[in-house]
Amino acid sequence: MKSIKLPGYLKLLLKRIWDDSNPVSIFLYGSMSRNDFVEGSDYEIGVIYEEDKRWTRQRLRDLHSFENVKIYPFVKEELLRGEIDTPFPKLIYLHGLLHDSLILYGQKLEDIIKVTKISKDDLLEAVGFCLGRAYSAVVSSRQKDWIAVRDNFTKSSLYGFQILIFLKTGKLVFSYKEIEEKAGNLIEVEYRDLFNHVMQVRKNDAAIETSLLYKNISFLNKSILKAIRKF
């Protein structure tokens, strides 16, 4: 196993999964693998199986009771075809797995995941996903579910900034640190207050301003979607 600073309980859990379920690979991804996590971030674990040996997400979930550990099963044959069964923008998601993941057991992801160049259709899929999450933040605010508001607001906006960076520079970045560093000078003046607020909220340095939930939707529609249509 690669030497990574994981808590003991997680190391024991992953060893059990490796020994008992015989996967192709186990990897850490998301903010923990990028080292740009904040307080409350989850450990996101991917487990790749051959199609006829796949364990379900529920079966993996039944192995533990840790609220900060999220384990997702993937199918090797689908990844080899560049496919994935996820609500996230598929190709950008696969690029992110390749870019950020840390192998804990088994095969390297470069030998399994196949990706192609990002197209206009991929960007449209991505902004549609962002808009869905942005609207979910508005609905959750009406229900006073501030945990869901924070998650959907920050991520929909950050992924919008990610698309903006790609449109302006041709580079796909994934860490929140890179997004913060590169997006600031690319954002229109009208949306800089949104950008600054999202960064503060993600770091738990500010309470959510509900008016900016709507401005986030405008940013995605009027800035990002408009730019994609010209791409």
Is the Cβ–Cβ distance between 135 and 56 less than 8 Å? no
**The pLDDT value given to residue 2:** 44
The tally of CA atoms less than 13 A away on the side-chain side of residue 109 is 22
For residue 133, what are its two tokens? 């999450």
Given this model, what pLDDT does residue 4 score? Answer: 65
**How many whole angstroms separate alpha carbon 114 and alpha carbon 82?**
5
As a whole number of angstroms, the distance between CA 50 and CA 90 comes to 20
Coil, strand, or helix at residue 211? helix
What six digits make up the tokens of 119? 């197209």
Burial of 219 (0-12, 13-18, 19+ CB in 10 A): buried
pTM (2 d.p.): 0.89
One digit per residue, pLDDT tens: the chain, 231 residues? 445 689 999 999 999 999 999 999 999 999 899 888 878 789 999 999 999 999 999 999 999 999 999 999 999 999 999 999 899 999 999 999 999 899 999 999 999 999 999 999 999 999 999 999 999 999 999 999 999 999 999 999 999 999 999 999 999 999 988 999 999 889 999 999 999 999 999 988 999 999 999 999 999 999 999 999 999
pLDDT of residue 1: 41
Our CA angle for 65, 67, 206, nearest 5°, is 170
